[in-house]
Amino acid sequence: MAEEFTFANVRRAVSGIARYVASQKSSGARVIVGRDPRFLGETFCAMAADILATHGITPLVIAEAAPTPAIAYAVIREHADGAINFTASHNPPEYNGIKFSTPDGAPALPEVTKRIEAEIAALDGNEDRSKAATGRAAVQALDPREMYLARLREIVDFQAIQKAGLRVVFDPLWGAARGYPDSLLRDAGVDVAAVHDYRDVLFGGHAPEPDDHLLEDMRKKMRAMTAHIGIATDGDADRFGIVDEDGTFFQPNYIIALLFDYLVESRGWKNGVAKSVATTNLINALAKHHGIELHETPVGFKYIGELIKQDKIAIGGEESAGLSIRHHVPEKDGILAGLLCCEMVARRGKPLGRQLQELFVKVGSFYPQRENFRLTPQVQEKFTEKLRLEPRDFFGRRVSEVVRTDGLKLLFNDGSWVCYRLSGTEPVVRVYCEAGSKASLEQLGAAAKQWIFE
């Protein structure tokens, strides 16, 4: 903020979106405008509403901070022509961003963002003449909260959670989900407590990311009330973080796999499952076990969202803590993920740790990890060239398959794998590894790092 995310750039971006929407619908267009709790969010929403109205597009403005999945659901329910959401999601407080959702409630696909970028380029240095072609639209208010909460009541078995006597702690990390899952649980008679349940535009001085090292306050509250589970969401509530009753943080890879297995068992859904190329192969093994079609996508939830829209999958998820399910929004929903985990623990009557061990017995053990490595310009140039190679041997491991879905993924004969993806925004390579034991994972991780810098 104040460097690249400036008032001028926000005007450019929103004007480009307005021109794009107007090109898709000549009159009567309506676009939802929302935000997370970040600094100046209300100001950006007012600015966006003014620009949309000037283009003859009715802005439906959400007054309070709202979760990204709630905004996505409102787009669908209101038959809106899209949504502009001011949020930087799980990124540090000094950042902000703009998410544009299309009329289906999904994140804009690359072809849409390219069209918007073209509209921005056409505007730069030229007066926006589209303003004169239409009358100014009136700004309207919208509150997506109740419609979204009603949808979650239809999806989640709150009666089962209450009947099991589950005790839950929720950590919104000062974000947009404040008062969402905890109010649903409380209304259902569930013993629930919340931490960080107030607005702080600095998110406690760190990124609002529901990761292991940032959930200690939630753990303390869990210990104080002997809670069975802790659920957390990020700044805009599209990502989740789950802590088991003994304080163990459960990485998203395992949560997606557990919920996949649970949905097949509890809902009988067998229409398919989707995961990004960097997400655990435990899901592959479960898909084979259940006789369900597997879809492996590039990284980016928009690809999974397309499969949800087509009802090709029961659940889709990414190792970066995003998931959604069939008959729901084609967008990540961290609130839904946490509530489904509560239902799963309640109905199975077992903590997450025991459930995971039972999965391992059923289909084998999987130990995934992700590491980021910063690269000097020289190393980055050399490594970018290296990614074009297709090695047949990798430090004594025989490469059985090379996958180019996103980056470079090498599969080995023993079922382990490594995947390299260069960041598009910084000199960083993301390295994903998975092996059948912790010892093997440690060896593979060391080899994966060595391959970058050798």
Q: Which ranges in the chain are annotated with CATH 3.40.120.10?
A: 7-144, 156-363
Give the residue-averaged pLDDT of 250-279.
Answer: 98
Question: Could you tell me the pTM of the whole model?
Answer: 0.96
Within the chain, all domains assigned CATH 3.30.310.50 are found at: 367-453
Find the distance separating the first CA and the last CA of the chain, reported in whole Å: 38
- pLDDT tens, residue by residue, 318-365: 999 999 999 999 999 999 999 999 999 999 999 999 999 999 999 999
Q: With contact defined as beta carbons under 8 Å apart, do 14 and 84 qualify?
A: yes
What does the angle CA 38 – CA 42 – CA 46 come to, to the nearest 5 degrees? 140
Q: Indicate the CATH number for domain 156-363.
A: 3.40.120.10
Q: How far is CA 296 from the centre of its chain?
A: 16
Q: Which residue has the tokens 């490595």?
A: 373
Residue with tokens 């209304």: 187
CATH number for the segment(s) 367-453: 3.30.310.50
| CATH tag, 7-144 | 3.40.120.10
Distances (CA, A) of 341 to 197, 250, 289: 21, 11, 21
**Contact status, residue 236 vs residue 93, Cβ threshold 8 Å:** no
Q: Give the Cα-Cα-Cα angle 166, 184, 343 (nearest 5 degrees).
A: 40
| Per-residue DSSP letter, 93 | T
Map residue 209 onto helix, strand or coil: coil
Question: Residue 399: which of 387, 382, 411 has the closest Cα?
Answer: 411
For residues 91-104, average pLDDT: 96
Q: Is 416 exposed, middle or buried (0-12, 13-18, 19+ CB in 10 A)?
A: buried
Confidence (pLDDT) at 128: 60
d(CA 430, CA 107): 23
Handedness of CA 392, 395, 398, 401 (dihedral sign): negative
Give the torsion sign (CA, 237, 239, 242, 247): negative
pLDDT digits (tens, 9 = 90+) for 43-74: 999 999 999 999 999 999 999 999 999 999 99
Instruction: Report the alpha-carbon distance of residue 315 to residue 403 in Å, rounded.
Output: 23
Q: pLDDT, tens digit, for every residue of 159-215?
A: 999 999 999 999 999 999 999 999 999 999 999 999 999 999 999 999 999 999 999
Identify the band that residue 217 occupies on the pLDDT scale cut at 50, 70 and 90. very high
Q: How confident is the model at residue 424 (pLDDT cuts 50, 70, 90)?
A: confident
Q: How many residues does the chain have?
A: 454
